[in-house]
Structures are given as structure tokens and as C-alpha cells.
Amino acid sequence: MKALLAALVLVPTLAVAQMPDFAKVQVTSTPVAGNVHMLVGAGGNIAVSVGPDGVLVVDDQFLPLAQKINAAIDKLSKEKIQYVLNTHWHYDHTGSNPVLGKEGLIVAHDKVRVRLASEQKVFGNPVAALPKEGLPVITYDNNMSLFFNGEEIRLTHMPSGHTDGDTAVYFTTSNVLHTGDQFIVDMFPFFDMENGGTVEGYQRNLEKLLQTLPSGVKIIPGHGPLAGKAELERMVAMLKETITLVRGHKDGGKTLEQVVAQGVPEKYKSWGNGFIKEAQYLEFLYKGLPGSARSPATPAPAPAPAPAPAKK
């Protein structure tokens, strides 16, 4: 049983290699607020700003969906795509870059360009580099603003969270935030530790974001339905609770297999129905949190001999 459990935990999530049936995918559009619309198809959610300056797109899913994404944008505006922003490098958010990048300028964090320009690995599986026309042509190392369609669009680097190059995109007048995968709704998050992601950074980024967000903000998550502050607070509460739980287990000398067997609190079981399953999530926390994990098989070092009583 123990061996089986260990095998289950250590096998990489296969979902990464499973692609949707693109022929069946429909790309639909919903108005969010102000200039901003949200497109849903397969892969990461897309934000589209339309107005007098033209079209700005945040994330673009998979290459086979490029024509459907373009068709959905055409229904919102006949203007040209001026900018394509990438929240991070993952292929379910940047796949249509080579098509959309022929029309608009691709903008992303420095590290997104570096990762897109050469082969990467996710769960050990190779991900090919994008051709030149799919690479960002404007990059930044921390924050940047674009002034477009009558509002400031603020790009803020979210370091060492989901990956090392994530950006939160905030439309200041529309009061809409696109988080990329630095936030998803009621599902366990993915800390891409092969690509600079960390558990504690992910938590820290969200806590900071919560402090700065105005009330009434509409949040387009990386995956899942349109959300608000309440959903973000729910994610932060879940992270706090499960991180404290796993840290306690590690400090108590529990093995990864024991932590997985014990599981998350009942109220969070349904969070494992997304891309990251419960066992995988617990493995991320166990391996990703600093601490002195002791295996029960390894005896603790013998205590130092007591000092000789001082002479009176």
C-alpha cells in the first residue's frame, strides 16, 4: 500500500500531455467591465480591451485556436490588434502568439521571452521554443504601464509564484484584473518549481495583491470563472491553512506518503477536481516548503551530553 501510494504521488501529472479536442472547442466572449471582455475557449482565460486605440489582448491559449480567437475578437471590434500581453510563458497562455504576434506587439516579462525562446520542461516533458514571430518584442524586469483605450493598464511582476515570470495586468479605470495562473478559482494552484515557481512566493504575491485591490474589482483568473475579491480571499485562506498543516506534519517527522494519506481538510477536497489533484498539491507543499523534514526511519541526533554541574 505504501509503495503504491508513493508511486501515485511521484508519477507526474499526465494532464499536462493531454490536449483538448480543438475542433470541438468554442471560443465565447463575455463583457466584464469598462473596455474589457473575457474570452473562454480551452487553456487560460483571455482578456480583450476594445476602444478607440484598437485592441489589446491578454493571453492567447493554443495555436490551433488562433482563428477562433481572432473571430471572437472581430465580433467585439474591427480595429487592429495593437498589443498582445502574456501573463507568463506556459503554452496554454501563449500558444497563439505566432499568429497574433504578426498583427500586434507582444509584451511580457523578461523571463517569459527567455523561456519562450528555448525548449523548456513542464513535469519533465519537453515544451518546444516558439518561432521568432511568437516571441515578446517589448519586455520589462519589474513593472510597466501602457496607456491605451483611455486608461492606464498596469503590469506588475509577481515573482517566484506560479513561475518566475508572471505578471498581473490591472485595467485601472475598468477596474479589472487579469491574474494569469498566479490565481485560479477554487482549484489547487500549480507551483511550477521547474520554472522558478515557489509555494511561499505564490502565497506572498496573493497577499500583497489583496491589500492593493479596490473593492468591486472584477478578476479574470488564469482558469475558472470570472471572480472577485471574495474568491481571492478564499484562495489565500486555503493556502494558509494547508501550508500550516503540511509544515506541522513535516516538523513532526511525517513522510510524504503519510501526509498524502492524511489528506487536506474535508472542505478543500473538491479543490482537487482541477488540473492539480490533491496528492500532487500536497507533494508540492511537502517538497516546496523549507523545513527539516525527518524520516521516522532516520533517528534524530543524540542530544548533547548535559554540561557538568557548576561547582559551588
In the complex with Zn ion, the residue whose CB is nearer, 37 or 90, is 90
* Closer residue to Zn ion (CB): 61 or 175: 61
Based on the shown chain and the rule CB under 5 A, indicate whether residue 60 belongs to the binding site for Zn ion.
Answer: no
Stretch that binds Zn ion, among 27-35, 181-189, 266-274, 283-291 (CB under 5 A): 181-189
From residue 159, alpha-carbon distances to 44, 111, 164, 253, 284 in Å are 19, 10, 5, 30, 18
**Pick 59 or 151: Cβ nearer Zn ion:** 59
User: Which residues from 71-90 bind Zn ion, rule CB under 5 A?
Assistant: 90
What DSSP assignment string belongs to 92-111?
Answer: HHHTTHHHHTTTSEEEEEHH
Site string for Zn ion, 84-123 (x = CB under 5 A): ------x---------------------------------
Nearest residue to 77 via CA among 25, 36, 33: 36
- For Zn ion, which is the closer residue by CB, 90 or 218? 90
Residue 127 to residue 17: CA distance in whole angstroms: 10
**Toward Zn ion, which CB reaches closer, 181 or 283?**
181
181 sits near Zn ion (criterion: CB under 5 A): yes
DSSP secondary structure code for residue 173 in this structure: T
Q: Max alpha carbon distance in the chain (Å)?
A: 93
Q: Which stretch binds Zn ion (CB under 5 A): 20-28, 175-183, 254-262, 279-287?
A: 175-183
**Cα–Cα dist 200/139, whole Å:** 25
Binding site for Zn ion (CB under 5 A): 90, 181
